[in-house]
DNA sequence: AATGAATGAGGCTTCATTCAT
DNA sequence: GATGAATGAAGCCTCATTCAT
């Protein structure tokens, strides 16, 4: 019934006299989001019933509908929280490097680590959000497009920098997204490879080569072990 | 798309003495499958109501449940019909060529043409079948794995033939599948590019390069026009 | 119990040239009845689906509805076959004796042996036929009433013969029927006692005493073992 | 018939500050039970549709399934409410007397009066609950066994008190139960005799004699119509 | 007589959402 | 803000029965 370790707002003790106990309100909302994340990842969107979220969050029907207008809304709120987070992390990683190859390394590592660390979010973003129909589809494609755009942006800058030859970066960016996405999904669904990060060396090589950047001739099996 | 051509007895044109009136049974089943294909593609799995299929197929509740034990079953029947069809077509295309590059060209062309021609099947296979939960998930991953295996098989033979360097073909095959898949999904959801086949040249170049096969330096925009 | 070999008409070999194979017709009907008996006893009236009967009888929907207008009809046909059979057997047993006590012994033994031998019929008659609603209820009460009437008839004759004192034989006959019925049901449902016939001595004593006939003072535990 | 007197909170007449609005919840549940009692008695278990109960109780589908997991559950809830009620009443009646004969009189009177007053409950308990299949059967036999055990307990005490001779009280108790049961069923189904209580004298005499207690030749209460 | 595909009314149950407290 | 009982539209599926062959 209570704050269940309010992740986000539990620490700033200053806000003692918030009007109408804002803390608890936020806490409830957060508990609902946490529960939703867990249940959606576990049972999928349609497999999840609002009561599941209520139960796991230890709140109530009324509480749920006070914070979210409907089931779809909490799902989208979840997605909307995840995407910018990941996007920002990738942006930061890229910005920290200057060499295109190093940038790709950094970005890839960020993506894989993020997904690797948050199975639940990953499932929601990459699996559960697919095939939902209605307004979901566009939402999802916009999300995917956003990732593709980030990749394309990176590629375009690489082209501009002369690091790679001019090419259809739009197409390539979607293809890259698809490739990365599939490996994550495989990991989520099949548990292969054991550690998601293990796909990094092979994936890196493949992507670089795909845009014309020669990769050292080392056999990937070798690299996989001591690369990073 | 609705071929109605009864698979089993399609050859004897006269068909005077159809044994056990198998004609009508198969025809009804086919009408149901056709309707299901249409409705599932349009509304998605959960958006589709059994009554929709009944109505479109112009049959009845009882008829539906006579032929399929439940809603899920007809969906899987659909998928199970599509996958082998596509797989066989690709196999055939590959078998018709001997040069690895030509094989990839042929396979890719087959895949894109097939999907391009059958929007509905494509949506069902690549979008609707995702995130369905239950026993669906494994089913889907098995399907994807099957395609990945086909790609890997191709790649392994290319390695054996010395056409490409040894590498982690498992990883690459999934990545390829993801890349191709994503471009088809984009086309389905966003309508870009207008004709799915237009992704062929760029995709082809990208994939070949990704495994270390140098592709002529022609800018892809150029090639797109007279390649194919 | 499922003789499949047409019980009723199987023997008169003369009827070779019956019009339109009457033999088979009756055989099918019998197969359906046999199957119905089995399935009704197993699953109860509502738990039984017509398809069950079809399957067990190895016939067809059409066949079923050719021989019986509906599900209810085959059930009633079953009951209507059983009741006269049992009634006649009891009548015969009674007629074979002249002493009232001997008559009761004979009748009781007949009833218990019949039920004991035909669990399925018993279940249908005494359990499944109860609480069916509709026109069933009256049918059932008529059946029970018929048995009660038989008992009353016996009692009345005993009264007339001076074997027992005048009393409300209507009431007693229903009570007797209820008592016997309950012991059979208990055996059917609980399997107690192991052999239905084992209730005979105790039941006999109780019934006789209930109408004022003194029974030998032997403790029933004793009698139960070597009486029969 | 519909007492609506909430069992749990019925005593505090003021009930101003009902905690957690338990009032309404219980009231709804009770309305559903009342409605179910009525409809089940009228139409039987299978003849009753959940919608009937909804309508009569003036509640809603959701309300029904909020209070009971399914149709079967409300039926069993009904039975589970009736049996202990009757059992307790009988126990009380017996405890109030010391003489075995007086005890039987009291118990019998209680049973017949209870059933006589609650036709609906009686029908549910003695008729509708029979032949329901599934888990119902055991439930029912347990119920019947409970009544039989009560009777047996009474008889055993009578034996111990030397009021009746040692005998197979298990068998007799079931037989008694069957006899009583049948007379009630007859009254329910055939309306004979007009007042259920009218079976008392005859039944009493028969039961007492059945265990060896001589009943005075006095017509009990004039011997019910002076025999038939 | 028999076959079995087809029909469709109707049943049970689910679950997103509302609302009085 | 929170609670949880109540609502009811809608979905899936069953199954007795019909009917063309």
Q: Which of C199, C1, C205, C193 is nearest to C112 (CA)?
A: C199
CA distance A195 to A42: 20
Do D172 and C127 lie within an 8 Å CB cutoff?
no
Could you report the per-residue pLDDT of A82-117, keeping only the tens digit for each?
Answer: 889 899 999 999 999 989 899 999 999 999 999 999
Q: Which residues of C touch D142 (CB under 8 A)?
A: none
Q: Give CA–CA dist D155/D164, Å, rounded.
A: 8
User: In terms of Cα–Cα distance, which of D109, D65, D79, D88 is closest to D200?
Assistant: D109
Instruction: Evaluate the omega torsion of the peptide bond into residue C159 and state whether it is cis, within 30 degrees of 0.
Output: no
**Number of cross-chain residue pairs from C and D with Cβ atoms under 8 Å apart:** 150
Query: Do C30 and C71 form a contact (C-beta atoms < 8 A)?
Result: no
C-beta within 7 A of nucleic chain E, residues 66-85 of C: 66-67
Q: Do C177 and D182 touch (CB under 8 A)?
A: yes
Class of domain C1-68: mainly alpha
* C48: pLDDT strictly greater than 50: yes
SS3 C73: helix
Burial class for B122, CB neighbours closer than 10 Å (0-12, 13-18, 19+) = buried
Nearest to C189 among D137, D167, D205 (CB): D137
Check if B1-68 and B75-227 are the same fold: no
CATH code, residues D75-227: 1.10.357.10
Note whether A203 contacts B129, CB cutoff 8 Å: no
Q: Which residue of C has its CA nearest to D205?
A: C210
Name the pLDDT band for A214 (thresholds 50, 70, 90): confident
Residue pair C175/D183 in contact (Cβ under 8 Å)? The answer is: yes
Interchain contact A115–B (C-beta under 8 A): no
The rounded mean pLDDT for chain B is: 85
Cα distance between residue B91 and residue D88, in whole Å: 79
Average pLDDT, chain A: 85
Q: Is the CB of D209 under 7 A from strand E?
A: no
3-state secondary structure chain A: CCCCCCCCCCCCCCCCCCCCCHHHHHHHHHHHHHHHHHHHHHHHHHHCCHHHHHHHHCCCHHHHHHHCCCHHHHHHHHHHHHHHHHHHHHHHHHHCCCCHHHHHHHHHHHHHHHHHHCHHHHHHHHHHCCCCCCCHHHHHHHHHHHHHHHHHHHHHHHHHCCCCCCCCHHHHHHHHHHHHHHHHHHHHHHCCCCCHHHHHHHHHHHHHHHCCCCCCCCCHHHHHHHCC
Task: Judge: D228–C168 Cβ closer than 8 Å, yes or no.
Answer: yes
Q: Do chains C and B touch (3 or more CB pairs under 8 A)?
A: no
d(CA C174, CA C146): 10
Using the CA of C46, which nucleotide's C1' is the nearest one?
Answer: F15
Tell me, what's the pLDDT at A3?
38
Chains that touch C (3 or more CB pairs under 8 A): D
Between residues 154 and 193 of chain D, which touch chain C (CB distance below 8 Å)? Answer: 165-168, 171-172, 174-183, 185-186, 189-190
Please, do chains D and B touch (3+ CB pairs < 8 Å)? no
Give the pLDDT of residue A107: 94
3-class SS string, B38-79: HHHHHHHHHHCCHHHHHHHHCCCHHHHHHHCCCHHHHHHHHH
In chain A, what residues touch B127 (CB-CB under 8 Å)?
130-131, 137
HSE toward the beta carbon, residue B84, CA cutoff 13 A: 5
Q: Considering Cα of C172, then C173, then C178, then C180, what sign does the dihedral take? A: positive
Query: Residue B14: pLDDT above 50?
Result: no
Residue C138 pLDDT > 70: yes
Residues of A in contact with B172 (CB under 8 A): 202, 206
The alpha carbon of residue D141 is apart from the nearest alpha carbon of chain C, in Å, by: 7
Model confidence at B79: pLDDT above 60: yes
Q: How far is the CA of A62 from the C1' of F4 (A)?
A: 8
Instruction: Identify whether the C-beta of residue C4 lies closer than 8 Å to the C-beta of residue C35.
Output: no
The mean pLDDT value for B66-87 works out to 94
* pLDDT cut 70: percent of chain B above it: 84
From the number of C-beta atoms within 10 Å of its C-beta (0-12, 13-18, 19+), residue D117 rates as exposed
Do the chains contact at C172 and D202, CB–CB below 8 Å? yes
Nucleotide whose C1' lies closest to the alpha carbon of residue D52: E11
Contact B173, B149 (CB under 8 A): yes
Gap from B15 CA to E7 C1', Å: 27
| A59 CB closer than 7 A to any strand F atom | yes
φ, ψ at A196 (rounded to 5°): -55, -35
pLDDT tens, position by position, D115-128? 999 898 898 989 99
What pLDDT shows up at residue A23? 57
pLDDT at C227: 44
* Of the listed ranges A141-145, A182-186, B184-188, the one predicted with least confidence: A141-145
Q: Return the domain boundaries, chain B.
A: 1-68, 75-227
Q: Report the length, in residues, of chain C.
A: 228
Task: Write out chain D residues lying below 8 Å of C47, CB-based.
Answer: 133-134
Q: What is the pLDDT of residues B87-120, one digit of tens each?
A: 999 999 999 998 989 999 999 999 999 999 989 8
Q: Point out the nucleotide closest to A63 (alpha carbon to C1′).
A: F2
The pair phi, psi for residue B162, each rounded to 5°, is 80, 10
User: Cα B22 vs. chain centroid, distance in angstroms?
Assistant: 29
D51 CB less than 7 Å from any atom of strand E:
yes
Backbone angles phi, psi at B163, to 5 degrees: -70, -30
Residue A1 pLDDT: 40
Which nucleotide lies closest to C18 by the C1' atom and the CA atom?
E1
Q: Are C63 and C74 in contact (CB under 8 A)?
A: no
**B142-to-A152, B89, C150, C161 alpha-carbon distances in Å:** 31, 19, 70, 86
Neighbours of A, requiring at least 3 CB pairs below 8 Å, are B
**Residues above pLDDT 90, as percent of chain C:** 64
Q: What confidence score (pLDDT) does residue B145 get?
A: 93
With CA of B25 and C1' of each nucleotide, the nearest comes out as: E5
Smallest CA–C1' separation from A23, nucleotide: F1
**CB B189, CB A197: distance < 8 Å:** no
Long-range contacts of range A26-31, CB-CB < 8 Å, 24 or more positions apart? A27/A2, A27/A3, A28/A57, A28/A59, A28/A63, A28/A67, A29/A67, A30/A6, A31/A3, A31/A4, A31/A6, A31/A57, A31/A58, A31/A59
SS3 at position B226: helix
Burial of C87 (0-12, 13-18, 19+ CB in 10 A): middle
Hey, is the C-beta of A217 within 8 angstroms of any chain B C-beta? Answer: yes
| For residue B219, pLDDT beyond 70 | no
Contact B152, B169 (CB under 8 A): yes
Please provide the distance, in angstroms rounded to a whole number, between the alpha carbons at the two ends of chain B: 25
Residues A120-149 have a mean pLDDT of 88
User: DSSP for C188-211?
Assistant: HHH--SSSGGGGHHHHHHHHHHHT
Cα separation of B173 and B183, whole Å?
16
User: Which stretches of chain D score pLDDT less than 70?
Assistant: 1-23, 216-228
Beta strands in chain B (DSSP E): none
pLDDT category of residue B137 using cuts at 50, 70 and 90? confident
Contact indicator for A178, B179 with CB cutoff of 8 Å: yes
- CB-CB contact of A206 with B210 (8 Å): yes
The answer for C 25-54 residues in CB contact with D (under 8 A) is 43-47
Residues 90-129 on chain B lying near strand E, CB distance under 7 A: none
Kindly provide the residue ranges of all beta strands, DSSP E only, lying in chain D, ordered along the sequence.
none
Contacts 24+ apart (CB under 8 A), C133-137: C133/D43, C133/D44, C133/D46, C133/D47, C134/C72, C134/D47, C135/C72, C136/C72, C137/D127, C137/D189
Confidence of residue C22 (pLDDT cuts 50, 70, 90): low
Answer with the residue of higher pLDDT: A178 or A100: A178
d(CA B82, CA B87): 9
C175 pLDDT higher than 80: yes
Task: Give me the residue from B45, B165, B179 closest to A179, CB to CB.
Answer: B179
HSE-CB of B28 using CA atoms within 13 angstroms: 16
- Find the mean pLDDT for residues C74-103: 91
Assign A134 a pLDDT band (cuts: 50, 70, 90): confident
């Amino acid at each position: 019934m209570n704050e269940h370790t309010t992740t986000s707002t539990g620490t700033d003790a200053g806000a003692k006299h918030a009007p109408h106990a804002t803390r608890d309100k936020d806490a409830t909302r957060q508990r609902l989001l946490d529960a939703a994340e867990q249940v959606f990842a576990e049972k999928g969107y349609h497999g999840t019933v609002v009561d599941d979220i209520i139960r796991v969050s230890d709140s109530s029907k009324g509480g749920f509908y006070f914070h979210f207008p409907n089931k779809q809304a909490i799902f989208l709120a979840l997605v909307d929280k995840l995407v910018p987070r990941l996007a920002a992390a990738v942006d930061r990683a890229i910005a920290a490097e200057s060499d295109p190859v190093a940038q790709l390394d950094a970005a890839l590592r960020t993506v894989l680590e993020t997904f690797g660390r948050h199975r639940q979010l990953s499932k929601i973003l990459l699996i559960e959000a697919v095939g939902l129909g209605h307004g979901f589809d566009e939402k999802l494609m916009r999300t995917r497009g956003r990732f593709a755009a980030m990749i394309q942006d990176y590629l375009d800058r690489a082209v501009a920098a002369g690091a790679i030859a001019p090419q259809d970066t739009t197409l390539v960016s979607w293809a890259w997204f698809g490739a990365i996405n599939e490996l994550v999904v495989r990991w989520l669904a099949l548990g292969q490879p054991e550690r998601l990060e293990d796909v990094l060396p092979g994936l890196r090589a493949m992507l670089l080569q795909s845009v014309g950047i020669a990769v050292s001739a080392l056999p990937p099996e070798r690299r996989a072990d001591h690369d990073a």
